[in-house]
Structure 1
């Protein structure tokens, strides 16, 4: 049986799971769940995932949700080696730290800008939210000082996770000119399998954010 990924392309977390699948080279059957049509709230989907979140993975009856958990599972289960999620305790800890940074700092600050614009009809970005996100991008720029990738000599699931998040706000038109290490890293990320699929989803998210955004907000 095929692995099924319940997916919505504009969703950055959903794209983390897809990028992880592409990176390990495992085939997934993508089932689109349209959040705007509330397909995640159908009885059929809630039976699969009571939290009704996207992405959700069905690996031959093994059901899993939370994007970064899906990514680590796919790498451990199907990865040909430990490049994407190292076994070395120090490298693994560094990857985990970057994943937690995305989960707890970067993505929540991006979401705090995008969610009200997409779902609540807001039209402006407050200065507080703007400064908060730029602070997080500044942290990322420091993480990348002297590095091509976030952890070690190869891209890992930390790069995959942060790429899905950051590419979304960049697609809105966010100015990252003050963060040269981040700009160089985004260019390097074109090497990651599934990059173009992720970019298409990021562009869709960017379009949704800009739809209600007043001119001059970026």
Structure 2
């Protein structure tokens, strides 16, 4: 029986869950949830996720939100082995650190640059937020100077989560990745390794970019 995934294509965290499920062969029952239309505030959705955000999964009555927790759960519950989320304590700790970095630093800094303009009524991008995002990208470049992948010598869910974020950053404005050759090489490696990458991730990243660029264009013409 497939797992219900409440999602939006433009959401990088949702796409991380979609890629993880594909990597381990878990079938998802896709339930598009339009946040712009307020579908996440309906009583039936609030009953399964009081935080009313996506992604959210319903695995036969087990409800879970927060994409990185969902990715870890899917691996722990359904993967044939621990390759994507190694059990060895030090390796797993590094994967976890990269996941927390994605959530609390990289993706957060990206959001602080663009979401105020897209959804918050800001009239220009914040220069300080752009600087903070650049610093976060520099951190990732440093991580990748030591290992081929985000947390070692093979693909893990740390890469999957970070790919969802970085590909969105690249789609919105690829100059964010200028002078970051390690990130660029890593991103292309992951794109080639993740099955159905274009459909599962790039399409949504491009949709987000179109949304963001449209908002920026309106500011420039105002």
Q: Under TM normalisation by the shorter chain, which class is it?
A: over 0.9
Going by fraction, where is helix more abundant, 1 or 2? 2
Looking at structure 2, the residues matched to 126 and 120 of structure 1 have their Cα atoms a distance apart, in angstroms, of 12
Looking at structure 2, the residues matched to 181 and 215 of structure 1 have their Cα atoms a distance apart, in angstroms, of 34
| Alignment-derived partner of residue 207 in structure 1 | 210
Query: TM-score with structure 2 length normalisation?
Result: 0.93
Looking at structure 2, the residues matched to 86 and 37 of structure 1 have their Cα atoms a distance apart, in angstroms, of 39
Q: CA deviation at 1:24?
A: 1.1
Number of residue pairs matched by the alignment:
217
**Secondary structure of the residue that 1:64 maps to in structure 2?**
strand
Q: Is contact 2:123–2:219 with CA below 8 Å preserved after alignment?
A: no
Once structures 1 and 2 are overlaid, which stretch shifts more, 25-34 or 192-201? 192-201
Looking at structure 1, the residues matched to 73 and 139 of structure 2 have their Cα atoms a distance apart, in angstroms, of 27
In structure 1, the gaps of 5 or more residues are: none
Q: CA deviation at 1:87?
A: 0.8
Looking at structure 1, the residues matched to 113 and 197 of structure 2 have their Cα atoms a distance apart, in angstroms, of 23
| Alignment-derived partner of residue 193 in structure 1 | 195
Q: CA deviation at 1:215?
A: 8.9
Looking at structure 2, the residues matched to 22 and 59 of structure 1 have their Cα atoms a distance apart, in angstroms, of 16
- Calculate the aligned-residue CA RMSD, in Å: 1.6
| Alignment-derived partner of residue 88 in structure 2 | 88
**Secondary structure of the residue that 1:213 maps to in structure 2?**
helix
Runs of 4+ in structure 1 displaced over 4 angstroms?
214-217
| Alignment-derived partner of residue 44 in structure 1 | 44
Once structures 1 and 2 are overlaid, which stretch shifts more, 117-126 or 204-213? 117-126
Q: CA deviation at 1:146?
A: 4.4
Query: TM-score with structure 1 length normalisation?
Result: 0.95
Q: Is contact 2:106–2:137 with CA below 8 Å preserved after alignment?
A: yes
Q: CA deviation at 1:148?
A: 2.1
| Alignment-derived partner of residue 14 in structure 2 | 14
Q: CA deviation at 1:214?
A: 4.4
**Residues 106-117 of structure 1: pairs in structure 2 closer than 5 A:** 106-117=106-117
| Alignment-derived partner of residue 30 in structure 1 | 30
